[in-house]
Structure 1
């Protein structure tokens, strides 16, 4: 299992939101590039970067910070947040991102997503953000009447290889992940699942690792010093 330290960028700063709420922001660093270097130096194999402003507004206000992160470290980076067309996918991949994550497109533009999956293959992932089992879109501001497990099955059928699955109710709450949903996804699909939301303790990591998940994203627990990243890495090695 790969552990992905999360770097969420808002106004070119490294922040964390609580349950995706833009009025509940904690700023952890004014320099996301230095934060990226820190996680690399501690042994991270992969970084998870989110453009929060892009997720909300579809702009690209944090472009310089994201490009600097990619250029400043040697480990691969996956990027999400407001990526709703092929032009943005190309732009990020050309900038050096290893994987680009789309979200809203999986609900609103499934035909386009099918075409892109055939072209970009391993370099394209889908973020499924769920609230009570239903899929949220547009930076978690809208909730569609779409079952998240059914969507995972559909994505697998069209050639998507990786899914970042976030239980919104767990995100930033430091209360542990939704183990039930990850176990169900592991049993019902063959897609590579990256767990996101609520990963807080070494025990959380042990449990997720035992489910043979592809990866887990860690955010607030690292920034609040509730979890030591090097200790977490030892749990999966």
Structure 2
């Protein structure tokens, strides 16, 4: 299982939000320095989100993410506001990320997933499924839908998607523990790569996600607030 340090960027700064609420942000400084820091501790992937793009659709933090990609030697996956072919091209061709995360369009226009997979290959594309009480939220987690998260995962599998990033919104940033039960259900219903996100606080949480069958876990608030030692987390991934 891989462990992905999260670098959420808003206004050019590394921040953390509580349950995705834009008014709850806490700043942690320079995202590029954090990227280099996590790489130096042994991270083999980075999970970078442009929060401004998620809320507005505009790739506001493109230059910062491009600097991260060019400064680190490890692969970077990025999401936030990826809603058109041009958005995908900008991230893969202009910025050079290894994997683009598509969330909203998995619900609103699944044909974009098919196009992206055909254009760049399934390993360059992930689908972000962000759920609250089992239902998917879109457009920066502000648009409610009646789409069931696990049913959407099954549809994405049918489209040939290789990787899903499943976030429990109610747990994100709360340090209240991950939704292991739903992560396990998603793994068993799809048997594709599931990366779990939201609520991870401890090494025990990482072990629980690992044992659910997930191929990865995203850690954010826990590593910035020090409830998890990142080097110790890496030891727990196998």
Show the counterpart of 1:42: 41
What is the TM-score of this pair, normalised by structure 2? 0.97
Counterpart check, 1:108 vs 2:108 = yes
Distance in 1 separating the partners of 2:110 and 2:191: 20
Distance in 2 separating the partners of 1:53 and 1:15: 11
Counterpart check, 1:135 vs 2:174 = no
The secondary structure found in structure 1 opposite 2:101 is strand
Show the counterpart of 2:124: 123
Q: Shift of the alpha carbon at 1:115? A: 2.5
Q: Shift of the alpha carbon at 1:193? A: 0.3
Counterpart check, 1:172 vs 2:162 = no
Q: Which moved more, 1:181-190 or 1:223-232?
A: 181-190
Q: Is the CA contact (8 Å cut-off) linking 1:45 and 1:76 kept in structure 2?
A: yes
Runs of 4+ in 1 over 4 A off after TM superposition: none
Q: Which stretches in structure 2 are left out of the alignment for 5+ residues?
A: none
Q: Is the CA contact (8 Å cut-off) linking 1:117 and 1:158 kept in structure 2?
A: no
What is the TM-score of this pair, normalised by structure 1? 0.98
Q: Is the CA contact (8 Å cut-off) linking 1:118 and 1:159 kept in structure 2?
A: no
- State the Cα deviation string for residues 31-56 of structure 1 (Å, max 9, x = none): 11010000000000000000000000
Q: Is the CA contact (8 Å cut-off) linking 2:100 and 2:126 kept in structure 1?
A: yes
Alignment of 1:1-237 (within 5 A): 1-29=1-29, 31-94=30-93, 95-120=95-120, 121-237=122-238
- State the Cα deviation string for residues 53-82 of structure 1 (Å, max 9, x = none): 000001111111000000000000000000
Distance in 1 separating the partners of 2:214 and 2:67: 30
Q: Shift of the alpha carbon at 1:191? A: 1.6
What is the number of residues matched between the two proteins? 236
Q: Which moved more, 1:88-97 or 1:222-231?
A: 88-97
